[in-house]
């Protein structure tokens, strides 16, 4: 018998380490300095993110879950998928709401950079739904994906508002590659956080308990461990700021005093002036017209737009 669980690596084992070095040397020698948000998520960072999702100020996770719970049947009616592809899986609890609503589902394809996260989630799911075949894909969703040969129609889901962590040109590139994965009859389900009152947004990224501050500073611990750097996270302040021009939240780390950090693995020393900031994340907030336009630019048509009662978050369903 064929095993119902298969794991395919499209990333060489050392790809992550190489990408980290490339990103850190580019970002910390740039003016102004930046780091990509994907490096937050080591084991500690993933744990802190889980903690963020339970904070009173951080509404996106519970709001998206609420929309999914209310709309799962409508989603299934729009696309009776035989394969569910989840990009950047890990939100297994939300995925379950979808899985349970799709009666014809045969295959689940979680895509994540972490093989261990995929093994855990895949086997837990199989214990509950032994009739599903799980084809886990170790891949970076920003790279070109080759999906396993599973039955259509396919529903591709990208939840959590993670698309907002991409810059506009990265988003265009990402949506175009999603478009190239879809055949007639397939669909994309996309979660986006929405533009709202500035204080609400800033509070969601600068919580009173300081969990997001710790999450932000965790990227320095990742650099210390992976690249032998000597950052002291306490030398930096957490900053969360609304950028009204781009309509995104920016997280930054601001040096409390002038300092120089050594990064031996890159043979690099990085100096900060007092008050100098490194941008560690953008989290774009959307409006319906913008989502519709970005989908259209990638050759996709917005078919459904579902929000919660307070219009905080949206789920979009798009097809060719």
- The annotated binding site for S-adenosyl-L-methionine is made up of 88, 94, 112, 140-141
Q: Which stretch binds ligand AVJ (CB under 6 A): 62-70, 161-169, 265-273, 302-310?
A: 161-169
Whose Cβ is closer to ligand AVJ: residue 133's or residue 283's? 283
Question: Which residue in the block uniquely carries the two structure tokens 């219009």?
Answer: 311
| H-assigned helices in 158-303 | 168-181, 198-204, 211-227, 288-297
Cis peptide leading into residue 32 (ω within 30°): yes
Residues making up the annotated binding site for L-histidine are 58, 165, 205, 281-283
Q: How far is the CB of 112 from ligand AVJ (least distance, A)?
A: 13
> What is the per-residue binding string for ligand AVJ in 172-211, x denoting contact by CB under 6 A?
---------------------------------x------
* Residues numbered 234-293 forming contacts with ligand AVJ, rule: CB under 6 A: 281, 283
Q: How many residues bind ligand AVJ (CB under 6 A)?
A: 11
* Residues numbered 40-69 forming contacts with ligand AVJ, rule: CB under 6 A: 52, 60
The pair of structure tokens assigned to 179 is: 């478009």
Q: How far is the CB of 214 from ligand AVJ (least distance, A)?
A: 11
First CA to last CA across the chain, in angstroms? Answer: 36
Are the beta carbons of 66 and 93 closer than 8 angstroms? Answer: no
Question: Which residue in the block uniquely carries the two structure tokens 């905080």?
Answer: 312
Q: Which of 118, 161, 291, 319 binds ligand AVJ (CB under 6 A)?
A: 161
Under the binding rule (CB under 6 A), the answer on residue 133 touching ligand AVJ is no
Task: Give whole-number Cα distances, 8 to 17, 112, 122, 178, 258, in Å.
Answer: 19, 11, 13, 19, 46
The pair of structure tokens assigned to 138 is: 């170790």
The DSSP code for 144 is: P
Residue 190 CB coordination number (10 Å):
26
Residue nearest to ligand AVJ (CB): 283
Which residues make up the interface to ligand AVJ (CB under 6 A)? 52, 60, 160-162, 164-165, 205, 212, 281, 283
């Amino acid at each position: 018998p064929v095993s119902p669980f298969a794991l395919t690596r499209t990333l060489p084992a050392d790809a992550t380490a190489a990408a980290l070095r490339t990103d850190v040397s580019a970002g910390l020698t740039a003016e102004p300095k930046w780091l990509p948000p994907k490096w937050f998520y080591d084991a500690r960072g993933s744990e802190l993110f889980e903690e963020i999702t339970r904070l009173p100020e951080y509404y996106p996770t519970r709001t998206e879950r609420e929309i999914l719970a209310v709309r799962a049947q409508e989603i299934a009616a729009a696309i009776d998928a035989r394969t569910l592809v989840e990009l950047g899986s890990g939100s297994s609890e939300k995925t379950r709401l979808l899985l349970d609503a799709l009666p014809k589902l045969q295959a689940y394809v979680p895509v994540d950079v972490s093989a261990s996260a995929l093994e855990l989630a895949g086997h837990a799911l199989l214990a509950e739904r032994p009739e599903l075949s799980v084809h886990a894909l170790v891949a970076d969703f920003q790279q070109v994906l080759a999906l396993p040969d599973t039955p259509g129609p396919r529903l591709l889901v990208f939840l959590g508002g993670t698309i907002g962590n991409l810059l506009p040109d990265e988003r265009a590139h990402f949506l175009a590659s999603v478009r190239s994965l879809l055949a007639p009859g397939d669909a994309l389900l996309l979660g986006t956080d929405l533009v709202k009152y500035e204080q609400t947004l800033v509070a969601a990224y600068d919580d009173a308990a300081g969990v997001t501050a710790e999450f932000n500073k965790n990227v320095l611990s990742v650099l210390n461990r992976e690249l032998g750097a000597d950052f002291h996270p306490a030398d930096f302040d957490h900053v969360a700021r609304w950028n009204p021009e781009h309509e995104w939240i920016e997280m930054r780390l601001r040096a409390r005093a002038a300092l120089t950090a050594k990064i031996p693995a890159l043979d690099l020393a990085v100096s900060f002036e007092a008050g100098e900031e490194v941008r560690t994340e953008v989290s774009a907030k959307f409006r319906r017209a913008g989502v519709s336009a970005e989908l259209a630019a990638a050759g996709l048509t917005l078919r459904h737009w579902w929000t919660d009662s307070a219009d905080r978050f949206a789920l979009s369903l798009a097809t060719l």
